[in-house]
Structure 1
Amino acid sequence: MILVSEVGPRDGLQSISRVMPLAAKKAWIAAEAAAGVREIEVGSFVPPSLLPQMADTAELVEFARTIPGLNVVALVPNVKGAARAVAAGVHGMSIPFSMSETHSLKNVRKSHAEMIDEIGAVAAIARAAGVHFAVGLSTAFGCTMEGAVPQDRVVRLAVAAAEAGAAEFSLSDTTGYADPAQVKRLVRAVRAEVGERLTTLHLHNTRGLGLANALAGLEEGITTLDASLGGLGGCPFAPGASGNLVTEDLVLMLNSMGLETGIDLEKLIDVRAILAEALPGEPLYGFTPDAGPMLDYHERMAK
C-alpha cells in the first residue's frame, strides 16, 4: 500500500496570507479522513508571530486525535516546537533540515552543524515521549539561492542526521528543481547509507514534474508521498517555489495504476468545496477535479 500523506493544512496554509478559520480546518481534516486519507500533517509548531496561520495547531492536533485510524503529524522547527508538539499529543513530528546552508540560515536561522545538534535534541524528546521522529531533507534536489546541491552533501548530512537519532527520512523538492532521473539517483544514494529509513518524497509541482518524480520514486521503493489538496503551498523562504503535488491528481494516478491507497477519489474531490468556501478566490490546482476520472477508472483499480 502507498501512503499518501496530506500536508495541505501545514504546507499549504502557511504559504498564503489569509488564515483559514479553525472550524474550516477541522472540517477539511475530518472530510479527508472520511475519504480514506490515513495521515495528515495538521500544522506546525512555530511562533504565531511568525506564522499566524499555524497558531491553532495544538487545537487541531487535539481534534484530529479523535478521528479513528488517523495518524496525526506536525512539523517542528526546533526543540521548543518539539516540546509543544509532544504536549499537544502528536503521533509523529518532523523537522526540516535544509541541504542548502543558505536556505537553512534563512528558514530556521541555523547552520548545518547547529541543525545536527538540534536534531539530536529533538530526537531525545521524541524517544522519551514515544513519538515518531522524521527528518525532512529539504532543498535536496536544488535551491533557488545556491542552485545545484551536491548529492554527496545530501548523503553526508542524511548519515549525520541518522546518527543523531532520526527514525525516518523524506527527500524534499522544496523548490521544484527535481527531475525523474535525479530522483532515482538521489533515492538510491541516500538509501545506500540510511537504508529503509528513507521512505518518503515531498514533491512540488513548480515546473510540472511532480507526478513524473513521484513515479520515479515509487520505482525506487518509496512508499510514502506527500501531497496537498488543490496543490496549495510552497515555501515562503524559497523564492519562486510554489505549488505542492496535487493530492487529487496523485490519488488518481496511483489508484488507476492499481496501487492501493485506501482513498476514495470522488470523496476526496468533494473536499475541495471546503477550501473554496473558506478561502474564496484562492487558486486551487489539479487536472482531475476538472476532467473527472476516466470512464473505466474503477475497472483499472480492480486490475
Structure 2
Amino acid sequence: MPEGHVIHRLAQELHKNFGDAELEATSPQGRFAREAALIDATPISRAEAFGKHLFVEFESAHPENIVYIHLGLIGTLHFEPATETRGQIRLHLSNGEIAANLRGPQWCRLITDAERSAAIAKLGADPIRDDADPLPIRLKVQRSQRSIGSLLMDQKLFAGVGNIYRAETLFRLGISPFTPGSRIGTAQFEAMWDDLVLLMKAGVVAGRIDTVRPEHTPEAMGRPPRKDDHGGEVYTYRRAGQPCLVCGTPIREQVMEGRNLFWCPSCQT
C-alpha cells in the first residue's frame, strides 16, 4: 500500500499538471460514470492529502464536488497521455494532453465538504502536513500498552505512516518495536515524530523512500545499491537475514498484526 508521501506527491502533481484547466471527467470502466458527469468540464480548485487519503475538490456548483480516493493495496493514479484508456480505469481526468487515470482503488467516492471533514476527523496527525498537531497523539501513545510497532501503523494516530517508515524510524532511533507505548518518553516521542517529518517530507520530494544516513550509503560503505521493487536505501525493511548496516547482526522479521515487521535485535533493544 502506498505510504503517505506518495499521496502528497500525487496531490502536488494534480496541481502541476492541470492547474486551473477545465477537465474532462469520465469513467471508462463505468463504475464512476454518474459522479464523473457531475464534475465534468470543471477545474480542480484544491487537491490535498491527509495520510493515505486523497481529496480532489472541483469548482462545481453541485454539493458533491470532492473526489475522495484511497488507493488501497493495488490502486494506482498514473499521469499518462490523454489518449491512454487501457485497463480498468475508474476515473479519467484529462486536459486534452495529459490524463490522470485511476485504476483499482480501494475506493473512489464523490462526497460533500461535510463528508470530507468527517473523514479527516477519523485520522491521526500526518507528519507531512505543516498543520499537524502531534501532542494529542503523544498522549494517546503514552497511555497505551500496545507496542510502538503496532501504534505507528494505526492511521487514527499516525496518518500516512506505513510499514517502511515504521521500521526505519524505529531503527534510526534505536527503539525496539515491541516497546509498549507507555514506556515511550516525551523526548523519545518527539525525536520519533521529528524523524518521521524529516523522512516523509524527503520522500515527497524524491518520490522514493531513502532512510540511511550519509555514512551508510552504498558509496560510503562500498556496497552494491539495494535492489528492490520499493527502491530506496533502507536499514531494515525487507532485509531479513541480511547483516545490519550498523552492527552486522542479521535483520529479523516476524508478523505483527498481519504485517511483516523488520528490526535489528542488537541496535533496537
Q: Considering the TM-score relative to the shorter chain, is it more than 0.5?
A: no
Higher percent of residues as strand? 2
Give the TM-score, by structure 1 length: 0.27
TM-score (norm 2): 0.30
